[in-house]
Amino acid sequence: MADTAIPQLNPPRRILMGPGPSDTHPRVLAALGAPTVGHLDPYFLQVMNETQSMLRQVFRTQNPLTLAVSGTGSAGMETCVVNLIEPGDKMVVCVNGVFGGRMADVAARAGAHVTTTEQLFGEVFSPEQISDVVHRVKPKVVGIVHAETSTGALQPLPEISKIVHEAGALLLVDTVTSLGGTAVEVDAWGLDAVYSGTQKCLSCPPGLAPVTFSPRAIAAIEARKTKVASWYLDMTLVRNYWGQDRAYHHTAPINMNYALHQALAIALEEGLEARFARHLRNHLALKAGLAALGLSYAVKEGQQLPMLNAVLIPAGVDDLKVRQQLLRDFGIEIGGGLGPMKGKTWRIGLMGETSSPRNVLLLLAALERCLGDQGAKFAAGAGVAAANEFYRQNA
């Protein structure tokens, strides 16, 4: 049999404006191609130290147990749940989107007695709703999503955190989409177990999950009567590798850690407040442009994520055809809706490197073409003009 030549990989160049991953800075891509060293090499141990320090700054925490789990954001979710939950523990999970539902599933698999409190997709929880359920259930852990990627809703946390702690429970928070794009104040808000992902506002390829645990959470882990259900994600073991002992646990993804190191450095060089302001400014410009095209948001004012825009699809417009045309003709990826929002919303990401005036204006121009091809009516160039006017007034 003749040998068959294996073609070289040649991925298309896309502008990633969906719900993740986001575009990647050249420095981060270059780090992925840097020479690989051993996972206990002194150079890599120094990279780990620096990465931990930068993660603490981005999470805004002093928590010693702050590290990057070897796995995607979902591994971060499992890490937080399985380390805090023992079989029979009570856990309340707040479900207002796909990822709250996933957290409830993970908790049940870990043996928790799960109580869900629910809101419609696209809505957020009131402190009163959380107070109600925690005083009724008296859980060990309350889990909630800060930035629900499936709906574009931003959940306020400070008052809820106070309620949870007054009830004697721990607060576990999903910040996969929010970290690096809007304020995440782990210490100031009193968050106990927090996980994120690398591929959203940190603009690093998917593959690592930043996590951080408060002293309260560590005390709960150390008071366990049973072993953590996952050996791979057991923080009592993993922390010895990331700590001073450097005890071998698993072979870390060396080059992914290089990439995260550079992504965090870029975020801190920009400055977190400046980075948050950039995400908000581009979100508001996009919003102005979409309004000029007759498009509105699926989430109420004041509850919208600046990095993930959930936009209602106009009547008579084919969801899939628009997304396919954007990808085929313009190289732009946006996301469709999930769950009950499937076919009803587009999810437009402005995360990390993707969040720029160039991308806002390009998308609006391309979207105008796609909507026009399906018979939508608006003044030519209205979206771009409205966004440009916003930028002019908010230079």
256 and 384 inside one domain = no
What CATH number did the domain enclosing 138 receive? 3.40.640.10
Nearest to 228 by CA among 80, 114, 108: 80
82 and 231 inside one domain = yes
Task: Please check the confidence at residue 71 and state whether its pLDDT lies above 90.
Answer: yes
User: Does some domain include residue 313?
Assistant: yes
User: Does some domain include residue 10?
Assistant: no
262 and 372 inside one domain = no
pLDDT digits (tens, 9 = 90+) for 35-56: 999 999 999 999 999 999 999 9
pLDDT digits (tens, 9 = 90+) for 228-246: 999 999 999 999 999 888 9
224 and 319 inside one domain = no
User: Does some domain include residue 258?
Assistant: yes
Task: Please check the confidence at residue 166 and state whether its pLDDT lies above 90.
Answer: yes
User: Does some domain include residue 15?
Assistant: no
138 and 227 inside one domain = yes
* Structural domain ending residue among the three candidates 243, 269, 295: 269
154 and 293 inside one domain = no
256 and 278 inside one domain = no
User: Does some domain include residue 254?
Assistant: yes
Distance CA 113, CA 186 (A): 26
238 and 225 inside one domain = yes
* Structural domain ending residue among the three candidates 226, 249, 269: 269
Q: How many distinct structural domains can be found in the chain?
A: 2
Q: Where are the alpha helices (DSSP H) in the chain?
A: 26-32, 42-59, 73-84, 98-109, 127-137, 158-166, 186-189, 215-222, 235-242, 254-270, 272-292, 319-330, 357-373, 382-393
pLDDT at residue 23, as a whole number:
98
pLDDT digits (tens, 9 = 90+) for 292-339: 999 999 999 999 999 999 999 999 999 999 999 999 999 999 999 999
User: Does some domain include residue 16?
Assistant: no
281 and 152 inside one domain = no
pTM recorded for the entire structure? 0.96
204 and 65 inside one domain = yes
User: ∠ CA(120), CA(20), CA(185), 5° rounding?
Assistant: 70
Task: Give yes or no for a contact between 155 and 184, defined as CB atoms under 8 angstroms apart.
Answer: no
Task: Please check the confidence at residue 2 and state whether its pLDDT lies above 90.
Answer: no
Distance CA 320, CA 336 (A): 8
314 and 360 inside one domain = yes
Q: What is the mean pLDDT of the chain?
A: 97
Task: Give yes or no for a contact between 61 and 267, defined as CB atoms under 8 angstroms apart.
Answer: no
229 and 264 inside one domain = yes
What CATH number did the domain enclosing 347 receive? 3.90.1150.10
User: Does some domain include residue 20?
Assistant: no
* Structural domain ending residue among the three candidates 213, 238, 269: 269
User: Does some domain include residue 150?
Assistant: yes
Q: Which domain holds residue 379?
A: 272-393
